[in-house]
Amino acid sequence: MNPSLKFILAFIVSLEISLKASLTTNILVIAFALVYLLVTKTKLKELLLLIILPFIAAFTIFATLYWFSPTPDPYYAWNLSTRVYVYTLTIACVTRKVTATDFARSLERNLHLPSKFAYGVLAAINIIPKMRMAVNQIRTSAMMRGMYLSFWSPALYFKAILVALNSADNLAQGMESHGYVENQKRSTIVAIPLTKKDWLIFFTLLILVNISLFCFK
């Protein structure tokens, strides 16, 4: 399915579920997401992390509304706690088999967003590993001078901001040297297709979710 349509579908479903309470729909969406992740051969370790990590937030919400509320409501507690898994698993489905490059290209070609936005998102994602390396180098350099920069140290973030500004300038120069010109039409190296099948899947899933929302509690 087209990356942009997957993102829009997940956004609409998450928004509708947050506005309309339906425990049955939450469970159906969670089940469908898990089946999709299994069909696409998600690693067992990744699947377990998607189930275990949100459990803390889901359990906290359930405990607050069921055990520590003056008027306990089991249905409302289950409804809000399962929403955590809906949001987590739908995002996991969106990112499954979709690279950052494909998503950025889809935003530009299919949603017709400005190319500077698409390339900016792609640049921000790709620069994260370099920023981690830069932060480690800053902390190592400080330790060699007898200084310890903790995670919350203002000096660490000040130096990291300077590195980020320098990297942004280098990135801008690199894009210009490769022929990037803002607001100019660009050729398509790799096309991201948006087919009738994608639209059919999109509207089918959206209609089914809405039917479940308004027909089941």
pLDDT at position 42, please?
Answer: 85
pLDDT digits (tens, 9 = 90+) for 118-134: 777 777 777 777 777 87
Of the given ranges (19-33, 46-60, 94-108), which has the lowest mean pLDDT? 94-108
What does the alpha-carbon distance between residue 60 and residue 81 come to, in Å, rounded to a whole number?
A: 8
Instruction: Determine contact, residues 75/22, Cβ cutoff 8 Å.
Output: no
Q: Within 10 A of 39 (CB to CB), how many other CB atoms are there?
A: 9
| 145-154 core/surface letters (b: 16 or more CB in 10 A; e: else) | eeeebeeeee
Rounded Cα–Cα distance for residues 192 and 4 (Å): 10
pLDDT exceeds cutoff 70 at 2:
yes
pLDDT, tens only, 140-175: 887 887 777 776 777 777 777 777 777 777 777 776
Helix (H, G, I), strand (E, B) or coil at 110: coil
Separation between Cα atoms, residue 82 and residue 88, nearest integer Å: 10
Tens-place pLDDT, residues 81-116:
999 999 999 999 888 888 878 888 888 888 887 777
The pTM assigned to this predicted structure is: 0.75
DSSP state of 179: T
